[in-house]
């Protein structure tokens, strides 16, 4: 079989498996078999790039770097919808429709209004040719490489398209979104990295679709619901027909749409989905009602911005008034004090809310809160409850309405709080003696992304501290069976207020000790993250581990050496230096070293692997999924290539990773240097 034949065969086969999996929920082969075929295709494509097909499944894994997205003028403008917020406005709209259609019968299609970014996909000559953002409605950004990573979107016009009535060339429109599950996963990672979480799935989707590196986009598992078909021919008579045809052809049309005969039925649909929509995989903000018949749509026409034949009903963010019982304060691992509103329980978006964050002292002042006030609670981005304002329509039953005043001393250890310049949070400076800070540091150490000792939940750490068995994470490694057996206490969950008994029986103790023992094999990067050095999150921990290779070297590093590390700025470097100056921290490290934790990076690739890179010079920029910088250099050497430090015309390949430096990319482009992704590099070395 020639390479061209093999590439064609692999492409068709893999597309078939993908279609079966994503559209029909059938797995015809195992994940490993699929990956092996995909890898073979990737390798062939990198050897014969001219044979790579437009519908190659390798587009799904990304690898294309776009510096600036070209602007594309929409063939059919992308209009917006007029919004309504109440029934009366809907009834008025319906009346106008009736009038224009001169009392002839008409139907509506009701759909969920998905809250992401609108995308327009053009299929020409059998392939997905372009995917463009809405932009200003007239022209948008060409983000084809990023959209090709959406697994539910056919890259080729589906085989059944013609038979189902879809034309030769057509456009489909839909809403690109970040599934709620993915949003939560990314936020978990960001928080563990000590970074600010993303505000909501919509903004996260918008940001991700505009990323330069499509392999990062691929890793975020975005998706798209299709809700519109457009072509120059009258392929369908009604919207309903087009939705059915698109769905049968394999497009991801949500099953939530419904055909109705009256505006009353549309209102029923709205009420029905008001709660149910929270179970959908993506954020939603309303309902769209559209006239079904295309000829009637033309009669109704358009305003400058939106069609007269469609309207959006927006759900209000659910907000309820409840009583502020008290304000309590939580002290985190870093000493930051967060005020928390204790509320009379209230049901919001189907969950009972008892507490809401008040963020910081400024927020309390902005709201002008007093104990006993009624306040409006809202679910921001439908995830974290917050207080939006005081409910002035209900009076506080308190005789003296005394505004809440932020505490001046730590609620746990009574130390006077301080506030650093330019920061919103008040801090307890008693790092060494403040119990929640001590506990917070140990909890940070045992979390999944650090040493992963999941047999030691929160209540258990508390118990160990109270019994003076541990003072820092290092003490965990001298715990014995006899220390632990029989310990007991009632634990009250901070969030739910529920209490449960924690007691150490034989099995529990065995599990704890097993978990502690297993943590000794966690990587140096994880240990580094677990130490909780301020501003050193998971990613920075990995970069430091890669760069220095051992705790000894990191400890000996000067400020100037530290800021050489990618991602490490002055603030982080200073914090690392402070950490290693502290006597208690040095004692902790001593305990960890004695216990046998991994305080050095393990280098995996050393030996000679092949000569695929013989005679070639390579340089890289950015960070990589599967390699540290050191590992990548070793991989180049192990395959006969030469790693060089500067960019020149003679360079064979520039390997481009995530968050690659834009100036380096621009220079490489100017010099005409060939750029390859991490995956392409891997395909080269086999
Ligand atoms: S139809 C001309 N249907 O809402 C009308 N739009 O506010 C075209 N959207 O830009 C839009 N779900 O991004 C339509 N089922 C749905 C939708 C939907 C979400 C978005 C879309 C559009 C915006 C208009």
pLDDT digits (tens, 9 = 90+) for 430-445: 999 999 999 999 999 9
**pLDDT of the residue at 648:** 85
For ligand 1, the distance from its centroid to the CA atom of residue 95, given in whole angstroms, is 22
**CA 134 to ligand 1: nearest atom:** 10
The larger pLDDT score, comparing residue 185 to residue 262, is at: 262
For ligand 1, the distance from its centroid to the CA atom of residue 307, given in whole angstroms, is 11
Model confidence at 196, pLDDT cuts 50, 70, 90, reads low
Question: If we measure between CA atoms, which residue out of 233, 119, 118 comes closest to residue 170?
Answer: 233
**CA 115 to ligand 1: nearest atom:** 19
**pLDDT of the residue at 383:** 60
The larger pLDDT score, comparing residue 63 to residue 325, is at: 325
Q: Which fold has domain 319-403?
A: OB fold (Dihydrolipoamide Acetyltransferase, E2P) (2.40.50)
Say if residues 506 and 478 touch (Cβ distance below 8 Å): no
pLDDT at residue 539 greater than cutoff 90: no
pLDDT at residue 544 greater than cutoff 60: yes
For ligand 1, the distance from its centroid to the CA atom of residue 116, given in whole angstroms, is 10
Ligand 1 touching residue 114 (CB < 6 A) = yes
For ligand 1, the distance from its centroid to the CA atom of residue 135, given in whole angstroms, is 14
Model confidence at 297, pLDDT cuts 50, 70, 90, reads very high
Ligand 1 touching residue 113 (CB < 6 A) = yes
Active site (catalytic) residues: 113
The larger pLDDT score, comparing residue 36 to residue 669, is at: 36
Model confidence at 667, pLDDT cuts 50, 70, 90, reads confident
**CA 228 to ligand 1: nearest atom:** 1
Ligand 1 touching residue 310 (CB < 6 A) = yes
Nearest residue (CA) to ligand 1, atom 17: 113
pLDDT digits (tens, 9 = 90+) for 98-139: 999 998 999 999 999 999 999 999 999 999 999 999 988 899
Among 278-282, 557-561, 648-652, name the most confident range: 557-561
- Looking from the CA of 53 toward its CB, the CA atoms found within 13 Å total 20
pLDDT digits (tens, 9 = 90+) for 546-573: 899 999 999 999 999 999 887 788 999 9
Nearest residue (CA) to ligand 1, atom 12: 113
Cβ-based neighbour number of residue 227 at 10 Å = 26
Nearest residue (CA) to ligand 1, atom 21: 118
**CA 83 to ligand 1: nearest atom:** 7
Ligand 1 touching residue 175 (CB < 6 A) = yes
CATH number of 524-595: 1.10.150.20
Say if residues 427 and 335 touch (Cβ distance below 8 Å): yes
**CA 80 to ligand 1: nearest atom:** 24
User: What is the rounded average pLDDT of the residues 278-292?
Assistant: 93
Ligand 1 touching residue 111 (CB < 6 A) = yes
Helices and strands (DSSP H and E) totals, the chain: 24, 23
Distances in whole angstroms, Cα of residue 215 to Cα of each of 65, 152, 677: 8, 17, 9
pLDDT at residue 629 greater than cutoff 90: no
pLDDT digits (tens, 9 = 90+) for 455-494: 997 678 989 998 999 999 999 999 999 999 999 877 666 5
For ligand 1, the distance from its centroid to the CA atom of residue 81, given in whole angstroms, is 7
Nearest residue (CA) to ligand 1, atom 13: 118
Mutation pick for ligand 1 pocket among 79, 138, 209, 227 (CB with most ligand atoms within 8 Å):
227
Q: Which fold has domain 78-314?
A: D-amino Acid Aminotransferase; Chain A, domain 1 (3.30.470)
**pLDDT of the residue at 644:** 81
Q: Which fold has domain 435-521?
A: DNA polymerase; domain 1 (1.10.150)
For ligand 1, the distance from its centroid to the CA atom of residue 159, given in whole angstroms, is 27
CATH class of 3-61: mainly alpha
Ligand 1 touching residue 504 (CB < 6 A) = no
Model confidence at 590, pLDDT cuts 50, 70, 90, reads very high
Q: Kind and range of the H or E element at 174? A: strand 170-177
Ligand 1 touching residue 312 (CB < 6 A) = yes
pLDDT at residue 605 greater than cutoff 80: no
Range from 87-91, 259-263, 383-387 carrying the lowest mean pLDDT: 383-387
**pLDDT of the residue at 193:** 66
**pLDDT of the residue at 420:** 85
pLDDT at residue 178 greater than cutoff 70: yes
For ligand 1, the distance from its centroid to the CA atom of residue 72, given in whole angstroms, is 20
For ligand 1, the distance from its centroid to the CA atom of residue 172, given in whole angstroms, is 12
Domains 319-403 and 524-595 share a fold: no
State the pairing for strand pair 384-390/374-380: antiparallel
Say if residues 255 and 78 touch (Cβ distance below 8 Å): no
**pLDDT of the residue at 604:** 47
pTM of the model: 0.58
Ligand 1 touching residue 81 (CB < 6 A) = yes
CATH number for the 617-685 domain, one of 3.40.50.10190, 3.30.565.10, 1.10.530.10, 1.20.1730.10? 3.40.50.10190
Rounded CA separation 462/176 (Å): 44
Say if residues 657 and 620 touch (Cβ distance below 8 Å): yes
**pLDDT of the residue at 583:** 96
User: What is the rounded average pLDDT of the residues 181-191?
Assistant: 83
The larger pLDDT score, comparing residue 584 to residue 385, is at: 584
User: What is the rounded average pLDDT of the residues 365-393?
Assistant: 85
Q: Where are the domains of the chain?
A: 3-61, 78-314, 319-403, 435-521, 524-595, 617-685
DSSP string for residues in 377-425:
EEEETTTEEEEEEE-TTS----SS-PBP---SB-TTT-PBPB--TT-SS
């Amino acid at each position: 079989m020639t390479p061209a034949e093999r590439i064609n065969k692999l492409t068709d086969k893999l597309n078939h498996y993908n279609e079966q999996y994503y559209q029909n929920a059938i797995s015809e082969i195992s994940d490993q078999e699929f990956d092996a075929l995909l890898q073979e295709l990737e390798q062939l494509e990198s050897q014969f790039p001219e044979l790579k097909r437009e519908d190659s499944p390798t587009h799904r894994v990304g690898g294309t770097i776009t510096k600036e997205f070209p602007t594309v003028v929409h063939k059919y403008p992308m209009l917006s919808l007029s919004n309504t917020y109440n029934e009366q406005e809907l009834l008025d709209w319906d009346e106008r429709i009736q009038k224009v259609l001169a009392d002839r019968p008409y139907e509506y299609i009701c759909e969920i209004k998905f809250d992401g970014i609108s995308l327009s996909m053009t299929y020409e000559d059998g392939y997905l040719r372009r995917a463009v953002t809405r932009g200003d409605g007239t022209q948008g950004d060409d983000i084809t490489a990023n959209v090709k990573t959406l697994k539910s979107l056919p890259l080729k016009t589906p085989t059944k398209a013609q038979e189902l009535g879809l034309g030769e060339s057509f456009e489909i429109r839909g809403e690109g979104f970040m599934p709620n599950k993915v949003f939560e996963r990314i936020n978990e990672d960001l928080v563990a990295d000590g970074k600010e979480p993303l505000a909501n799935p919509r903004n996260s989707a918008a940001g991700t679709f505009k990323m330069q590196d499509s392999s990062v986009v691929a890793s975020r598992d975005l998706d798209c619901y299709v809700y519109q078909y457009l072509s120059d021919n009258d392929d369908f008579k009604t919207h309903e027909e087009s939705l059915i045809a698109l769905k049968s052809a394999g497009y991801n049309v949500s099953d939530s749409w419904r055909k109705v005969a009256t505006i009353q039925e549309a209102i029923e649909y709205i009420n029905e989905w008001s709660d149910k929509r929270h179970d959908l995989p993506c954020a939603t903000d309303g309902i769209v009602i559209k006239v079904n018949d295309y000829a009637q749509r033309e009669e109704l026409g358009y305003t400058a911005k939106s069609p007269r034949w469609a309207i959006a009903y927006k759900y209000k963010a659910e907000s309820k008034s409840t009583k502020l019982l008290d304000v309590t304060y939580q002290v985190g691992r870093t000493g930051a004090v967060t005020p928390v509103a204790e509320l009379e329980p209230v049901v919001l978006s189907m969950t009972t809310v008892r507490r809401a964050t008040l963020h910081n002292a400024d927020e309390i002042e902005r709201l002008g809160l007093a104990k006993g006030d009624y306040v409006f609670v809202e679910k921001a981005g439908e995830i974290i409850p917050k207080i939006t304002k005081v409910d002035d329509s209900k009076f506080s039953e308190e005789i003296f309405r005394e505004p809440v005043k932020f505490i001046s001393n730590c609620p746990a250890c009574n130390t006077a709080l301080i506030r650093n310049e330019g920061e919103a949070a008040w801090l307890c400076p008693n790092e060494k003696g403040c119990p929640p800070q001590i506990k917070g540091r140990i909890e940070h150490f045992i979390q999944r992304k650090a040493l992963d000792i999941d047999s030691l939940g929160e209540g258990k750490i508390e118990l160990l501290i109270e019994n003076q068995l541990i003072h820092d994470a290092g003490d965990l490694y001298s715990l014995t069976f006899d220390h632990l057996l029989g310990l007991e206490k009632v634990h009250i969950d901070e969030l739910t207020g529920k209490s449960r008994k924690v007691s150490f029986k034989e099995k529990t103790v065995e599990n704890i000790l097993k978990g502690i023992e297993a943590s000794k094999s966690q990587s140096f990067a994880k240990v580094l993250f677990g130490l909780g050095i301020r501003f050193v999150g998971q990613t920075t921990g990995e970069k430091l581990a890669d760069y220095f290779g051992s705790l000894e070297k990191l400890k000996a590093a000067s400020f100037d050496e530290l800021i050489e590390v990618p991602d490490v700025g002055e603030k982080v470097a200073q914090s690392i230096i402070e950490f290693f100056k502290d006597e208690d921290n040095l004692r902790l490290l001593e305990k960890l070293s004695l216990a046998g934790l991994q305080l050095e990076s393990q280098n995996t690739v050393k030996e000679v692997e092949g000569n695929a890179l013989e005679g070639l010079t390579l340089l890289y920029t950015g960070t990589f999924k599967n390699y540290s910088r050191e590992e990548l250099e070793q991989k180049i050497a192990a395959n006969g290539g030469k790693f060089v430090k500067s960019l020149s015309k003679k360079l064979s390949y520039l390997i481009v990773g995530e968050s690659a430096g834009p100036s380096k990319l621009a220079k490489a482009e100017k010099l005409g240097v060939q750029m390859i992704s991490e995956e392409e590099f891997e395909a080269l070395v086999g």
